[in-house]
Chains A and B, each alone.
Chain A
């Protein structure tokens, strides 16, 4: 045997060795353990993208399959006593193959319906970044869509640039956990600036403050305080519809506000006049005083996303963009308009969507509760599909249609605690038969193996007794 053959033999020995098997199994265990810790600290998506779907995981699984196939080849020619061994080890390869097929060809998403609504779009877990152009006729045309896997490919390291007209749109930064923060700032001369007022209502029991802001495209901004309303409108606006208690503030680009106080019990306006920032006036309601804490005649809303270390119920992913010399923040599932002198674009950072070729409507949604409590016991959706008919989807009882399976996943309630929205998870898994076959073979093989072992154990009992102790 020459050197090369010897070398080949040694490599093959290693790939068919139990040593590699132990390394691979330890690797799988360690990676998985890291994944669970990452998931506990961050979130599921974080662990999925950075651990379970990482290069390392694929490498370990690849080595596992190579190792398994080699040990099976190593046992050639196969005998009857090898049956359990072969089943178990081939089963694992088939199981891993099934998972790969699911990952590549499967669909795993969700659908959200309000009761009575129709829907045909499945929201997928992965995100995309889409750009639309508009030609002033109100219609939009999608001009560019890129997958937005920024968790794995952060734009800070791998810059993303999209050409829009003669300018470039750059994605500067991605924040996986961030909180939306809205600020109202003075911006004189800005074309879409509006008026913003910060008001305070106070007596010895009540003390509340509130921002109101009206942009040029709005008729008015209304703050509903239950027994009364505060309305910010443009001067000369028609307020004849008011029937209840209301404070109306009229503002334009000058720094003087006009006010009117409507009192329900007196059927109309009980006070009017002008106010500047810092002024206060009595409302005549239970000694409540109205004070103008701040008044910005030319204000814009500035949205920012502030990065957070770990997730909470209010965090969302966000992007920092740069276009035409200005920076903009964009949260997941929201839109942003970008202007140049000649054109307008709409950019959107959102879940990828898988359109179905049929529509589903949610006819009814029910929650069964544990007796005497608000705790949900069961929940189910009555859905119908044109030409197919009605069906009920509940926990542990999904619906199958055209290769897809629809599961009852979750629901949302309104403030009164009535269910209004049903969330289904939608799934297609072409790897399923492989996974079931693999699982079956592993189980059967392991049991057979232990059965043969037991027989062998009986015949080698003397051997076991002489084992070095």
Chain B
């Protein structure tokens, strides 16, 4: 209970801090979001990061609007694709270019024309085309912001498309002007502070000025919102805006992985023979991480009013969460001590991936395609399928650890190996039931919505292939073909099928009806991850065989 109160205070603190420019509701991409989110997403798209020179996205992006001429010539546009830089004749080590430099590049327009001719006939885009598309988006969003056309901040009298800044009329225009003026004041005060030659006496004074300007800025934003609310009521769903600000500022998933990692360290110490008191610490960290984790996706559920499993990012978060839940059950019910160790590994790895690879795992909160707008099926079919990935992921890491014991000394670690074998078997059983029920629910959803129970769509087909893989393993185990080593190796190898179903279909195959989940990037890392594990299994397996031969023992 004390923990809860502590957390509550922490977040309330965040929420008062959040009030300001970032608080301003903006309509974009089919939903209302705080300017804070809008600015982070825009800066991330254009510049590749959510901050610029340690300055917040809200300040940077708002200044695109206020002092566009300065930004036109700043190298803020990230061109990641080396082939595209070559094609534009700007090859070299520099990745950042100014909007003017790119807009005046005569080679860009023909590339965009080529892209158009491809998109017009719905041709599949290769990575180069996608890079052109990204660059076009980057330039157009910069242009939309600097001209004010992209910032829709006022609900209309009729219809539902909000009004952009450049078309504001009295009295809204004056309200917004107030915000701009206060922003300029804060900006210039901040500029003065940057000056290193400033005498200390003046520094104090300017710091005060800055603080005042910030307060004035916040007040003008609040009064602008109040002005609109006086006419349109709760036009922006205030509570959701607040929740989203908390979500942006608190970074619950980052806290979660840091804490999971601490949990993992303590579990490792305990499991390799450390003092039992450390186990309490391990559970405490894991529990705290779990609270942050749960809090994070609860906020996403609250903001978007849907189960948190609609894109790659959300499923990775969910898998991490499901693994912790499953491991806790295995620990409590079957007393499998290795489960929480492997689960914190899964959770740490997954959430670090979510944190660092935002260009691949898109964490933005975007509206759903029409077919997915059914919370019942999202909450059953998708949640259950993704939960099965969690079970297989757990089996995978336990398998990894088991292989390590086989590598070291399988006699000495016989107890651990047996513990692990049971855990893998249990996790696979849970996974197989979940994936089967998930596939069938998908069939029922498809039957109910499209009249097709099974259509060999790549996503469902790969789920089926993974299901077959695990079914073979379970049968092999029952028949006694797979002993302890075999099961551990199978747990590691068969996870490749899950990776294909989960990631490969969307990012490598890129075909089928589940088009709402397509993305790009990370293929080389994922392939390397799979390859390394195959080599690991092969290495341990050969080593073990040669050892057995030298001992002249019968083979398993």
Task: List the interface of chain A (C-beta within 8 A of B).
Answer: 18, 21-22, 25-26, 28-29, 32-33, 35-37, 39-40, 44, 47-48, 52, 99, 102, 108, 312-314, 369-373, 375-379, 395-396, 398, 405, 407, 409, 425-427, 429, 431-432, 435-436, 439, 442-443, 446-447, 450, 453, 464-465, 467-469
Contacts and interface: CB of A to CB of B under 8 A. Distances in A.
Given A36-B458, A40-B458, A370-B31, A429 B447 contact: yes
Contacts of B121: 312-314
B75 to A, nearest CB: 31
Q: Name which of A44, A312, A372, A468 has the most chain B CB atoms within 10 A of its CB.
A: A372
Contact of A373 (B29, B461, B479): B29
B374 A396 contact: yes
B450 A425 contact: yes
A22 B464 contact: no
A396 B371 contact: yes
Interface string B464-487: 110011011001100100011000
A25 B432 CA distance: 14
A55 B144 CA distance: 56
Interface stretch (B99-107, B337-345, B410-418, B532-540): B410-418
11 contacts: A21-B475, A22-B476, A26-B468, A36-B511, A52-B456, A312-B123, A435-B447, A446-B432, A446-B436, A468-B556, A469-B417
Given A36-B509, A377-B367, A429-B451, A372 B461 contact: no
B29 A405 contact: no
Nearest to A428: B451
A375 B472 CA distance: 44
Given A99-B454, A443-B437, A39 B30 contact: no
Q: Name which of A396, A429, A439, A442 has the most chain B CB atoms within 10 A of its CB.
A: A396
B55 interface: no
Interface string B497-527: 0000000010001111000000000000000
B370 interface: yes
B451 A108 contact: yes
Contact of B161 (A371, A378, A431): A371
B111 interface: no
A215 to B, nearest CB: 28
A370 B414 contact: no
Given A370-B31, A377-B30, A396-B449, A32 B370 contact: no
Given A35-B456, A40-B512, 12 more contacts: A22-B475, A26-B468, A32-B461, A32-B464, A32-B465, A47-B456, A371-B162, A373-B29, A425-B450, A429-B447, A431-B453, A442-B440
Given A314-B121, A439-B440, A465 B27 contact: no
Nearest to A440: B440
Contacts of A409: 450
A39 B453 contact: no
A425 B472 contact: no
Contacts of A407: 449-451
Interface string B66-106: 00000000000000000000000000000000000000000
B509 A40 contact: yes
Given A25-B468, A443-B440, A396 B458 contact: no
B462 interface: yes
B6 interface: no
Contacts of B458: 36, 39-40
Contacts of B456: 32, 35, 39, 47-48, 52
Given A36-B462, A370-B367, A446-B432, A313 B453 contact: no
A409 B453 CA distance: 15
B160 A439 contact: no
A414 to B, nearest CB: 16
Given A372-B161, A396-B373, A446-B433, A467 B484 contact: yes
A36 B505 contact: yes
A207 B472 CA distance: 67
Nearest to A18: B479
A313 B509 contact: no
B30 A432 contact: no
Nearest to B501: A36
B142 to A, nearest CB: 19
Given A36-B511, A395-B370, A443-B437, A435 B453 contact: yes
Contact of A28 (B161, B462, B468): B468
A321 B122 CA distance: 29
Contact of A40 (B432, B479, B511, B556): B511
A163 B479 CA distance: 61
B152 interface: yes
B162 A468 contact: no
B212 to A, nearest CB: 35
A435 B410 CA distance: 46
B453 A396 contact: no
Contacts of A443: 433, 436-437, 440
Contacts of B429: 450, 453
Contacts of B436: 442-443, 446
A372 B373 contact: no
Contacts of A431: 453
A40 B510 contact: yes
A306 B462 CA distance: 34
B443 interface: yes
Nearest to A314: B121
B512 A469 contact: no
